[in-house]
Amino acid sequence: MGYQDSDVFLFYGLIITFIVIYIMRKKRLTTRDAHPEDKTAYYRTSAGPAESQTFAITPEDIKGIFVVVTSDEPQTQLMAMSLSTQALLKGKYVRILLCGPGGNLALKYGEEFILEPINKSPQMLMKNLMQKGVIVEICPFYLPNMGGSPADIVEGIGVAKPPEIADGLLEPGVKLFTF
């Protein structure tokens, strides 16, 4: 009983398929490979293959989130505040920076949009977060470029200082979210 040409092609085809799958999985691991069963994400450094190292991040490693809101779209702003609220409820540190059109959230007399299904506005959730100790700051370039002053912003919202913002963004265990 001999092998037919089709059997040989099938064998080598399977070998090549497994090699391609192996290579593709290795490439995907260089960015992020989440493992839902142990809730650990494995990352590799962006260095070349010889210098790269794999390290694991678990939910316990995440100390908090840094949320940057630049959108003027109320639904996007509401989602940013809603997710910030959820992170805070899970015991994580939350800090919010409002920039560009997102800075309109900080205005005392800004337009508010009540959205379904929670019947709240992004400003309402933001003020609730502030009452719970969340730091909310406005971009230092927002007021001077819109012709406003610190008197125009909601009480409790600070003007961000770039060196402090950089420190907050670079702090280990802090994840950045932009909306």
Same domain for 41 and 83, yes or no, is no
Instruction: Based on the fold, state whether residues 42 and 89 are members of the same structural domain.
Output: no
Q: What is the pLDDT of residue 32?
A: 47
Percent of residues, the chain, with pLDDT higher than 90: 49
- pLDDT of residue 157 exceeding 70, the answer is yes
In a shared domain, residues 73 and 157: yes
pLDDT tens, residue by residue, 137-156: 999 999 999 888 888 999 99
Domain boundary among 19, 35, 58: 58
Shared-domain flag, residues 97 and 54: no
**Span 12-43, pLDDT tens digits:** 777 787 777 777 666 554 444 444 455 555 44
Residues 84, 165, single domain; the answer is yes
Boundary-marking domain end, from 21, 38, 58: 58
How are the residues of the chain apportioned to helix, strand and coil, as percentages rounded to the nearest 5?
45, 20, 35
- Helix extents (H) in the chain: 5-29, 74-89, 122-131, 142-146, 162-170
Q: Are residues 71 and 11 in the same domain?
A: no
Let me know whether 67 and 45 are in one domain: no
Residue 104 confidence (pLDDT): 93
Specify the pLDDT at position 77: 96
pTM of the model: 0.68
In the chain, the number of structural domains is: 2
Identify which of 107, 81, 51, 92 has the alpha carbon closest to the alpha carbon of residue 175: 92
Pairing type for strands 40-44 and 54-57 reads antiparallel
Q: Is 130 in the same domain as 168?
A: yes
Separation of CA 6 from chain center: 51
| Residue 124: domain span | 62-178
Quote the pLDDT of residue 109: 84
Higher pLDDT, 100 or 10: 100
Could you report the per-residue pLDDT of 82-98, keeping only the tens digit for each? 999 999 999 999 999 99
Secondary structure of 90-113 in HEC code, one letter for each residue: CCCEEEEEECHHHHHHHECCCCCC
- Statement to judge: residues 44 and 67 lie in one domain: no
Domain of 108: which CATH number? 3.40.1260.10
Euclidean distance between CA atoms 102 and 140, whole angstroms: 13
Sign, CA torsion 146/147/150/153: negative
